[in-house]
């Protein structure tokens, strides 16, 4: 088990560990570590604002090689702020980017929320099935080394909707406790993988993006995805997930899907 998903090289540069690799190729990273790294970098510019939306663009395969993170304020503001972050190779090619929308926190009297779509799965961590998952290729990667899965329904090899509690097993960077935002971003990218409608050996359904809306941040280490995918014969798909923690619902995530036969 590595010390973290990324080793820090200094000056905003990072080296991915094997546990950050994705299921489609051992030479490219999973979207979860990429999303967690970019979101963590953007948080510093958010200051005390709430990250209400995080949009990740996976522009090309992210290599298992030194990477540089750069952040900037796209829209400064006291009540609403937009932060941009980019991930680039040593050659300067931007491989992923993020925009994070921050909204100020304040004490406001609001009506009570209505009932949630489903009861919180508080005991799922104890009752769910452990998943030490190996997919098409037997190598260490994010889905089987970087996180722990507890499926309440479905599984990676079972087509259809799935409910999965996910926990980061290692920090994003060495010596730093993952922030709540990093925990939810690392988990949210699994929506298409756990709710795939076809076997991994027959179809690929890669997400070139990830958008997460949060009305609150998660509490504790575990984040639950209640996920469903739809695939269309035009080679397009969409994965959507309701996001939970032990206290109840906290947001939603969406992933556009590029669908192709292997």
The total of other beta-carbon atoms located within 10 Å of residue 222's CB is 21
Q: How confident is the model at residue 110 (pLDDT cuts 50, 70, 90)?
A: confident
Q: Is residue 95 domain-resident?
A: yes
Report the domain count for the chain: 1
Two structure tokens written together for 38: 């970019």
Within-domain flag for 111: no
pLDDT value of residue 157: 82
Q: Is-contact 135 200, C-beta < 8 A?
A: yes
Q: What is the pLDDT of residues 175-222, one digit of tens each?
A: 999 999 999 999 999 999 999 888 777 888 999 999 999 999 999 999
State how far the Cα of 186 lies from the Cα of 209, in Å rounded to an integer. 13
Domain presence at residue 1: no
pLDDT at 262: 83
H/E element holding 99? strand 94-103
Give the 3-state secondary structure of residue 130: strand
Q: Is residue 143 a part of any domain in this protein?
A: yes
User: Any idea which of 83-87, 198-202, 254-258 has the lowest mean pLDDT?
Assistant: 198-202
Cβ atoms of 243 and 188 closer than 8 Å:
yes
Average pLDDT estimate for 105-127:
69
Look over the chain and give the mean of its residue pLDDT values, rounded to a whole number. 90
> Pairing state of beta strands 94-103 and 80-89?
antiparallel
Quick one: what percent of the chain has pLDDT higher than 90?
73
pTM: 0.91
| pLDDT tens digits, 146-181 | 999 988 888 888 889 999 999 999 999 999 999 999
- Identify the top-confidence range among 104-108, 121-125, 197-201: 104-108
Residue 29 lies in a domain: yes
Q: What is the average pLDDT across 88-97?
A: 97
First to last CA, the chain: 31
Counting beta carbons within 10 angstroms of the beta carbon of residue 134, is it exposed (0 to 12), middle (13 to 18) or buried (19 or more)? middle
Residue 115: predicted pLDDT: 66
Per DSSP, the residues of 8-39 read EEETTEEEE-GGGB-SS-TTBB-HHHHHHHHH
Range of the domain at 83: 6-106+116-261
Dump the DSSP string for 146-206. IEEEEEEEEETTEEEEEEEEEEESS-SSTT-PPPHHHHHHHHHTTHHHHT-SS-TTTEEEE
Closest alpha carbon to 163 in 134, 205, 120:
120
Quick one: angle between helices 180-188 and 31-46, nearest 10? 150
Q: Is 50 exceeded by the pLDDT of residue 43?
A: yes
Mean pLDDT value across residues 109-118: 69
Question: Three-state DSSP class for 229?
Answer: strand
pLDDT at 14 over 60: yes
**Domain membership flag for residue 27:** yes
Cβ(22)–Cβ(30) under 8 Å?
yes
Neighbouring-strand partners of residue 75: 82
Pairwise CA distance, residues 2 & 21, whole Å: 12
Sequence length of the chain is 262
Nearest in space to 96 (alpha carbons), one of 61, 55, 57, 67:
57
**pLDDT value at 133 more than 60:** no
Helix, strand or coil for residue 225?
A: strand
Q: What is the mean pLDDT of residues 18-29?
A: 94
List all residues 6 or more positions away from 176 whose beta carbon is below 8 Å from its beta carbon.
Answer: 4
CATH code (residue 94): 2.40.160.210
Residues 51-82: tens digit of each pLDDT: 999 999 999 999 999 999 999 999 999 999 99
């Amino acid at each position: 088990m590595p010390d973290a998903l990324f080793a820090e090289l200094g000056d905003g540069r990072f080296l991915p560990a094997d546990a950050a690799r994705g299921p489609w190729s051992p030479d490219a990273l999973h979207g979860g570590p990429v999303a967690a790294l970019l979101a963590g970098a953007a948080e510093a510019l958010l200051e005390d604002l709430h990250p209400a939306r995080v949009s990740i663009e996976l522009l090309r395969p992210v290599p298992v090689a030194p990477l540089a993170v750069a952040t900037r304020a796209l829209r400064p503001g006291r009540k609403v702020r937009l932060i941009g972050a980019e991930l680039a190779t040593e050659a300067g090619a931007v491989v992923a980017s993020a925009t994070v929308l921050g909204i100020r926190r304040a004490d406001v009297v609001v009506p009570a929320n209505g009932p949630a779509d489903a009861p919180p799965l508080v005991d799922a961590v104890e009752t769910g099935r452990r998943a030490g998952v190996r997919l098409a290729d037997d190598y260490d990667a994010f889905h089987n080394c970087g996180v722990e899965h507890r499926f309440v329904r479905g599984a990676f090899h079972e087509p259809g909707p799935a409910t999965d509690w996910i926990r980061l097993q290692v920090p994003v960077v060495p010596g730093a406790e993952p922030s709540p935002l990093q925990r939810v971003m690392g988990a949210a990218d699994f929506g298409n993988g756990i709710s795939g409608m076809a076997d991994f050996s027959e179809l690929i359904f890669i997400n070139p993006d990830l958008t997460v809306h949060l009305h609150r941040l998660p509490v504790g280490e575990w984040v639950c995805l209640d996920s469903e995918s739809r695939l269309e014969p035009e080679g397009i798909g969409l994965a959507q997930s309701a996001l939970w923690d032990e206290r109840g619902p906290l947001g939603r995530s969406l992933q556009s899907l590029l669908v192709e036969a292997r």
